[in-house]
Amino acid sequence: MLKIAKPFLLMLAGIIFLSPSTVMATDALQAELLNTLWVVIAGAMVFLMQAGFAMLETGMVRAKNAVNVMMKNYIDLCVGTLLFWLVGYGLMFGDNPSGFYGTNLFGLSSAPDWDYTLIFFQIMFAATAATIVSGAMAERTNYIAYLIGTCGITAIIYPVFGSWAWNEHGWLKQMGFIDFAGSTVVHSVGGWCALAAVILLGPRLGRFGEKGEARQVPGHNLSFIAIGGFLLWFGWFGFNGGSTLAAGTNLGHILLNTHIAGAAGAVGAMLLCFSTRQPALLTSTVNGSIAGLVAITAGCASMQVPYAILTGAIGGGLSVLGTIWLERMRLDDVVGAISVHGICGVWGTLAAGLFLTGNMYDTHQILVQLAGIGAAFAWVFFSALIMYFLISKVFGLRVSTMHEQRGLDITEHGEIGYPEFGKDVVYSSESLKDLSKI
Amino acid sequence: MLKIAKPFLLMLAGIIFLSPSTVMATDALQAELLNTLWVVIAGAMVFLMQAGFAMLETGMVRAKNAVNVMMKNYIDLCVGTLLFWLVGYGLMFGDNPSGFYGTNLFGLSSAPDWDYTLIFFQIMFAATAATIVSGAMAERTNYIAYLIGTCGITAIIYPVFGSWAWNEHGWLKQMGFIDFAGSTVVHSVGGWCALAAVILLGPRLGRFGEKGEARQVPGHNLSFIAIGGFLLWFGWFGFNGGSTLAAGTNLGHILLNTHIAGAAGAVGAMLLCFSTRQPALLTSTVNGSIAGLVAITAGCASMQVPYAILTGAIGGGLSVLGTIWLERMRLDDVVGAISVHGICGVWGTLAAGLFLTGNMYDTHQILVQLAGIGAAFAWVFFSALIMYFLISKVFGLRVSTMHEQRGLDITEHGEIGYPEFGKDVVYSSESLKDLSKI
Amino acid sequence: MLKIAKPFLLMLAGIIFLSPSTVMATDALQAELLNTLWVVIAGAMVFLMQAGFAMLETGMVRAKNAVNVMMKNYIDLCVGTLLFWLVGYGLMFGDNPSGFYGTNLFGLSSAPDWDYTLIFFQIMFAATAATIVSGAMAERTNYIAYLIGTCGITAIIYPVFGSWAWNEHGWLKQMGFIDFAGSTVVHSVGGWCALAAVILLGPRLGRFGEKGEARQVPGHNLSFIAIGGFLLWFGWFGFNGGSTLAAGTNLGHILLNTHIAGAAGAVGAMLLCFSTRQPALLTSTVNGSIAGLVAITAGCASMQVPYAILTGAIGGGLSVLGTIWLERMRLDDVVGAISVHGICGVWGTLAAGLFLTGNMYDTHQILVQLAGIGAAFAWVFFSALIMYFLISKVFGLRVSTMHEQRGLDITEHGEIGYPEFGKDVVYSSESLKDLSKI
C-alpha cells in the first residue's frame, strides 16, 4: 500500500496546489489586474477630454473671454473632483434601497482596491457632465455663480440621476434601461443643465439683432476648435471602452463603433450643410463628430457597425438642425452644447433601443428608453432651473453689461489671454495700453 | 476497491476540471484579452497622431490657410475611416489568392471580436497614410479635389500596396519583406502620393522667384509645430508598439528603439544643419525627429539599440538633405512630407534589412527590401499621378490665383482662423473689416 | 495492475502537463506581460508631459521667446534621451557596491526584455527632471549653454542622486527613504538645478524695478498654460502609476490619490489667493494643481485619500507662497518651477513620511525623509551651481542685453514664432518688416 501511497500523496499535493480554487483565485486576480489596468487607463483618457473641452470652448469664444473659459474648465474639474468623491459617488453608487439615491460610500477612504479604481473612473465622468455646461454659458456668466452651479451638478443633479440608471438597484436600471456609457446619464444631463442656464442667462449682447435676427459671433481661434475635437474624440475611446469596467475581448467592437460613429457624425453634418446650402463650417464639422460620438455612447456595446454609422450620421445632422432650432428660439448656446450633448444624447439613447442587436425595434425596449430620456429631462432640467434661479437671486448669474463688453478675462480674473496680440481689437480699455511697453 | 475509488474519483474530477484544455482555453482567453487591450490602446494612441499632424501642418502654413488645413486633417480622417471600413480593409486583409489584393471582408459587420480590434487599429493606419498628403498640398489645393484624393488613397492605393506587404499571402510578404510597422507601407505610400500631387499642383505663388531661387514662407505658429511633433511622437509608441498586434514582453525594446531613434533624428538633423552652416530651425529639428521615427518604423522590432540610433540619426540628416534637394527641383512641399515620410521611409526600410539582428548586411534580405521599396514607388507614385491627373481634369486640383492670394479659409470655407488678430496682415478683403466691430 | 495503470498514467501525464512549475511559468509570463504593458503605456504617458511642459512654459513667456522655449523643451528631451541611455541609466540602476553610484549597464544594447522596458520608462523620468529647469531659465539663457547643462543633469546630477534613493543598494534606499515616484528624486532635483541656474543668471531685464520692486511680465498665451497643465496632469497618471513598475490592483488607489491631490492643489492655491486678497490668476491655479501633483508623488502609494487631499492642498498653497518668497529674494523664476517642483517636492517627501498608512507621524521615518530631502539639496544644488558656473565661464550662460531685448527667437534661432501677428509690438527689428509682404 505504501508503495503506491507515496506517489499518490505527491500527486495529491500537486493537485491541492493546483486545486480549482487556487487556479480560480489566480484567474480572479489576473482578471482584476486586467480590469484595473484597463479602467485606470480609460479613466486617464477620459481626463484628457477636459483638455479637449477647454480647447474647443475657448476656440469658440472671443479672445477677451479666453482666460475665463479656460479657468472654468480647469477649476470645475478640481471642485467637481473633490465634491464627487465627498458626496456624489455615494449618492450614485451607494446602497440604494429606494432606487432613487445611494446612501453610503461618501468620502471613501478605506475600501477594497477595486472601489478606488471605480471612483477614479467615475470622477472623470462627473467632471465631464459638469464641464459640458461651461461652453453654453460662456462670455457672460459670473465666475463664482458658475462654480456654485458646478458644485450642484457634481454633488446632486448628476449623481442622483446616475443612481437611477447605473446603480444596481436604480429604478431605471431595474426596468432594463440601456445607456451603456452615458448618452443620457452624462451627455443629456450636461445638456439639460446647459439649457436651464442658457434660458435664465439670456443671450450675449449683440447676439440677436433688434428684430431678433441671429448674428454670428466668430470664435477667436478655430485651430483650437479642431484640436479640441481631436482630444475629445481620443478621450471617448476611454469613455465608451472603459464603461465595460472590464477588459473584454469586445473592446475592439465597442471602439470601432465609437470611432466610426464619430466619423459618420462629421460626414452627416457636412452633408446636411451641403444639402441645405449652408457652408460646411469647421465648427459644424467638429460639432458633428462630437454629436456622432455622443449618439453612439448609449449603444456602442450593443449595436452592429452599420447601425453605429447610421446613429452617428443622424447625430451629426441633428447637431446642425438643433443649433438652427435653438437659434430660432433665441437661445444663445455659445458652443452648441445643448444641441450636441442634450439633443444627440436623446437620439443616441433612443438608437440604443432601436438598433439593439438581437432585439431590434422592440416596442417595450423603446418605451423604456423613452422613460429614461423623459426622466432625465424632467429631473435635470427642472432641478437645474431651480438651482440656477436661486444662484441668480443670491449671487447674480450674469455679469454686468460693462464687464461683458470689456471681457470677462480682465473683469473677473485681472488677466488677459494674449497681452501682446491684437490689443486694439480685443481690449478697449485704455488702462491696458501700457502692457505693450513691457 | 471502493475505499480508494472515492478519493480517486474526486481527484479525477479535479483533474478533469483542471484538464489541459481548460487551462489552455483560459490561457488563450487571457492572451486574447491582453492582446485586445494593447491593440485598442495602441490604436487610440495612433488616432492622436491626427491631432499631431493637424498642429504640425497648420503651424507651418500662413494664418489665412489655417482653417483649411485643419479641416482637411479633420475630414480626411472621417471620410477615410468610412471608406477603409467599406472597401480598404477587405482589399488589404481579405483572402488574397493572387497575392495582389484581398477579395472579402468588405464592410465588416458580423465577425469575431478580434477582427473588430484589428480593423479599429488598421483604420488608424490608413488615416495616417492619407493625412500625410495634406501638408504637402497645403495652401493651394481645391478642398473637394483633396477629399476625392483621400478617398482614392484610403480605398485603393494604400490597401492594395498593403495587401502585397502585410497580407499573409501578399507577394512581398511571401518574399520575406520586412516592414514591421510601415516605413514603406504607411509612410512612403503617403510620401509618394504627396510627390505626385505636388508635381501636378506646382509651387505656391511666390515660393520661387523669377530666377527660380527659393523663398521661404514662414509658418504662422511655430509653437503649434513643436506641440504637433510631440503628439506625433506620442502616437508613434502606439504605431510601432501596436504593430506587434499582441502584448509581448518585447514591447519595451520596440518602444525604446522607437523613442531613441526619434531623439537621434532630431540631433542628426541639428548636427547636419550645424555642419553645413545652416541655422538649426525649429521646423528642421521637429521634422528631424519625425524622420527618425519614420526610419525606425520598419525595423524597430528587429534591431539592436545602437543601430536604432544610427537609423534615426541618418533619417534626421536625410530629412534636411531631402528638403534641400526637393527645393532645388522646385517642388513645393509645404511641410516637408515627401522628404520626411517618402525618403526616410525608403531609408528605414533599407535599414531594417541592413541592421537585422542575427542576419546583418545579408545581400538577399537587402535585395528583398529594395524590391519592396521599388514596388511601393512604382505602384503608389504612378497610380497617384493618374488619380490626381484625373481629379485635376474633372474638378480642378488647384484653386484660382485670387483665392490662393486671399487664402483658402475665406474662399473655400467662409471662415477665418483668428478673426480678432492681425487682420491687416492676413486678410485683405474689405468685407471682413466689420468683424472687428462685433 | 495494468487496468488501473492506464488511467493512472494518463492522470500522471495530465499532472505533469499541469505541474505547478508549468502553471507558475505561465503565470510569471502573464505577470511580465501585464507589467510590460502597463510600464510602456505609463512611459508613453510620461512622455506627453514634455508637451505639457512645453505649452505651460511657452505660454508663460513673451512671444519673442516662444520658439526658444519650445526648442529647449524639444531638444533637451532628445539630448537627454541619448545621454541617459549612454551614461545615466547605468549610474542610476547599475550594480552599486558603494551605495553612491552604479557601475554598469551603460549604453545597454543586449539585455533581457524587461530591462528595455525599464530604461524606456526611466528615460522619460530623466527627461522630466531636465525639462523642469528650462522654464525657470527662460527668456535670457544662451541656447548652447542650456543644452550643456541638460547634458550634465541627465548624465550625472540626476542619476547619481537617483542611485542613492532608487537603486536597490543606494544608501538612502537602505535607510528606508520613501519617495515612491520622485517628489524628491525627480521634482526637487529639477527644482534645485533651476535654483542654482536662476541665482547665477540673475533676473530678466526689467523684472525688478530700480528700488527692487517686482514687475509682472505677462505670458503671451494663457490658453497654452491651461492646456499645458492638463497635459502634465494626464502624464502624471503614468508618472505615479507607472512607478509601481507592475500592474497591481492598487493602481486605482494610486491614481485616485494623484488626481485628487492635483484637484486639491488648485483649490488650495485659489483659497490662499482669496484669503490673502490676491486675484486667483490662471497661472496660480494651474501651478497650484501641478504643485499638488508634485506633492503627492512621493506618497501616492502609501497614503489614505483624505491625506492625499491635505498633501495636495498644502502643496498648492505653498506654490503661491514660494513664488512670493522667491520674488522677495529677487530671484526671477519665469514659470515658478523652483516653488512648484523644488519646494513642493520637499513638502511631498515629508508628507509621505508624516501620513504613512499604518505608521503615521513616526519620528524615525520623518528623520529619514529629512535626510533624503537634505541630501538632495546638498548634492543637486551645489553640483548644479558648480556646473552652471563653469558653463558661464566657458560659454557664457546669459545672452547679451541686446539679444534679450530683441528676443531669443530671432537672435538664437533666426525664426519668429508668429510672423503674421503683432509685429509692431513684438518685434522691433526693421529687418523683419518685409515678412508681411510675403
| Digit-coded pLDDT (tens) for A163-172 | 999 999 999 9
Which residue in chain C is spatially nearest to A117 when comparing CA positions?
A: C252
A93 touches chain C (CB under 8 A): no
Inter-chain CB proximity A120 and C281 less than 8 Å:
no
The DSSP string of B246-269 is S--TTHHHHHHHHHHHHHHHHHHH
**Cell output for A48:** 484628457
Instruction: Name which residue leads in pLDDT, A6 or A406.
Output: A406
What digits encode the pLDDT tens for the residues B55-71? Answer: 999 999 999 999 999 99
Average pLDDT, chain B: 91
pLDDT digits (tens, 9 = 90+) for A33-86: 999 999 999 999 999 999 999 999 999 999 999 999 999 999 999 999 999 999
| pTM for the structure as a whole | 0.93
* Residue C296 binned pLDDT confidence (cut-offs 50, 70, 90): very high
Using CB atoms, pick whichever of C226, C251, C259 lies closest to residue A37: C251
- B424 at interface of A, judged by CB pairs closer than 8 A: no
More confident residue, C278 or A17: C278
Say yes or no to pLDDT of A16 above 90.
no
Minimal-distance CA residue of chain A relative to C38: A37
Range with the lowest mean pLDDT among A205-219, B139-153, B344-358?
A205-219
CB contact under 8 A, A114 and C233: no
The pLDDT of residue A14 is above 80: no
Cβ–Cβ of A67/C231 closer than 8 Å?
no
Give per-residue pLDDT as tens, C206-234: 999 988 899 999 999 999 999 999 999 99
Higher pLDDT, B377 or B2: B377
> Does pLDDT of C383 surpass 80?
yes
Residue C400 has pLDDT above 80, yes or no: yes
- pLDDT value for B324: 94
CB-CB under 8 Å, A119 with C252: yes
From C45, C250, C304, residue closest to A113, measured CB to CB: C250
User: Which residue, among C249, C267, C296, C304, would best test binding to A if mutated, counting the most A CBs under 10 Å from its CB?
Assistant: C249
- Of A109, A107, A103, nearest in space to A85 by CA: A107
Nearest CB to A255; choose among B43, B71, B73: B43
Mutation pick from A16, A230, A302, A420 vs chain B, by most beta carbons of B within 10 Å, is A230
Q: Does B54 touch chain A (CB under 8 A)?
A: yes
Q: Which residues contact C413 (CB under 8 A, 6 or more apart)?
A: B279, B280, B281, B282, C67, C68, C71, C143
Using DSSP's 3-state secondary structure scheme, residue C95 falls into coil
Q: Is the pLDDT of residue A155 over 50?
A: yes
By CB neighbour count within 10 A (0-12 exposed, 13-18 middle, 19+ buried), where does B114 fall? middle
Task: Give the pLDDT confidence of B267-307 residue by residue, as tens digits.
Answer: 999 999 999 888 889 999 999 999 999 999 999 999 999 99
pLDDT > 90 in chain B, percent: 85
- Decide if B226 and C78 are in contact by the 8 Å CB cutoff: no
Contact B11 C11 (CB under 8 A): yes
Could you report the predicted ipTM of this complex, rounded to two decimals? 0.92
pLDDT band with cut points at 50, 70 and 90 for residue A99: very high
Tens of pLDDT, residues C36-94: 999 999 999 999 999 999 999 999 999 999 999 999 999 999 999 999 999 999 999 99
C183: nearest Cα among C362, C369, C56: C369
Compare CB distances from B109 to A237, A305, A425 and report the shortest one's residue.
A305
| A36 contacts chain B (CB < 8 A) | no
> Cell for B409?
479659409
Q: Using an 8 Å CB-CB cutoff, list chain C residues near B20.
A: 14, 17-18
The pLDDT of residue A433: 39
Residue C311 to residue C295: CA distance in whole angstroms: 6
C280 at interface of A, judged by CB pairs closer than 8 A: yes
C260/B contact by beta carbon, under 8 A: no
From the CA of B344, how many Å to the nearest CA of chain C?
A: 19
pLDDT for A219-266, tens place per residue? 999 999 999 999 999 999 999 999 999 999 999 999 999 999 999 999
Least confident of A211-225, B360-374, C6-20, C359-373: C6-20
The residues, any chain, with a CB within 8 Å of residue C50's CB and separated by 6 or more, are B230, C73, C74, C77, C127, C128, C131
B425 close contact with C: CB closer than 8 A: yes
- pLDDT of C9 > 60? The answer is no
- Subunits next to A (3 or more Cβ pairs <8 Å) are B, C
A223 touches chain C (CB under 8 A): no
The overall average pLDDT reported for chain A is: 91
Q: Is B44 on the interface with C (CB under 8 A)?
A: no
Which residues neighbour A187 within 8 Å (Cβ) at sequence distance 6 or greater?
A129, A132, A294, A297, A341, A342, A344, A345, A348
Q: Is there a contact between B121 and B46 (Cβ–Cβ < 8 Å)?
A: yes
Question: In the prediction, which pLDDT does A45 show?
Answer: 98
Q: What band does A27 get if pLDDT is binned at 50, 70 and 90? A: confident
A67, three cell numbers: 482666460
For chain B, say whether A276 makes contact (Cβ under 8 Å).
no
A420 pLDDT tier (thresholds 50, 70, 90) = confident
Cα-based distances in Å from C252 to A2, A113, C234: 52, 7, 15
Establish if C291 touches chain A: CB-CB under 8 angstroms: no
Task: List CB contacts of C394: < 8 A, sequence separation 6 or more.
Answer: none
B124 CB-contact burial (10 Å; exposed 0-12 / middle 13-18 / buried 19+): buried
Whole-number pLDDT of residue C14 = 47
Name the nearest CA neighbour of B93 among B114, B71, B75: B114
Mean pLDDT of B229-250: 96
Handedness of CA C172, C175, C177, C182 (dihedral sign): positive
Which residues contact residue C416 at a Cβ distance below 8 angstroms, ignoring those fewer than 6 apart? B218, B222, C64, C67, C407, C409, C410, C426, C427, C432, C435
Average of per-residue pLDDT across C413-434: 62
> Mean pLDDT over residues A371-384, rounded?
98
CB contact under 8 A, C36 and B247: yes
Nearest Cα neighbor of C301 from C260, C349, C241 is C241
CB contact under 8 A, A421 and B422: yes
